[in-house]
Amino acid sequence: MKKIVTMGADFTLEQTKEACEKIQEGDFQLESISTTTVEENHVNVSKNKAVFRGEFSNKILNELTFIKVGNDDPEVITKKMKGEGRTPISDSDIFVEKTLAKVLVFGKIS
């Protein structure tokens, strides 16, 4: 079973992470996050779209880490996170405070 949730483009990175972790409490695992456009009151609005899949609670990577890449090398970040036992979840551009940014998402069972 899939669950798709849209979030405000004005969210901070921390707010987006917290919103995803809250949704995961209902036995859903974050699968990906990307941008989308939705129509609200006949106006197109930019949002982030998080896709979750149903999962057994003991298998959910409930400790999420969202990293805004900036000028850093994504491969170096991924190698470091894997070394800390974190699993890559998503590598995409999302909105952070209304600005498009490359963000890596990792998860770990806490």
| pLDDT for the residue numbered 26 | 83
DSSP-assigned beta bridge partners for residue 58: none
Half-sphere exposure of 84 (CA within 13 A, CB side): 15
- Give pLDDT tens digits for 78-101: 999 999 999 999 999 999 999 999
- Give pLDDT tens digits for 28-73: 999 999 999 999 999 999 999 999 999 888 899 999 999 999 999 9
The CA distances from residue 45 to 7, 35, 77, 87, in Å, are 11, 11, 31, 31
What is the overall mean pLDDT for the chain?
95
- Give pLDDT tens digits for 50-62: 999 998 888 999 9
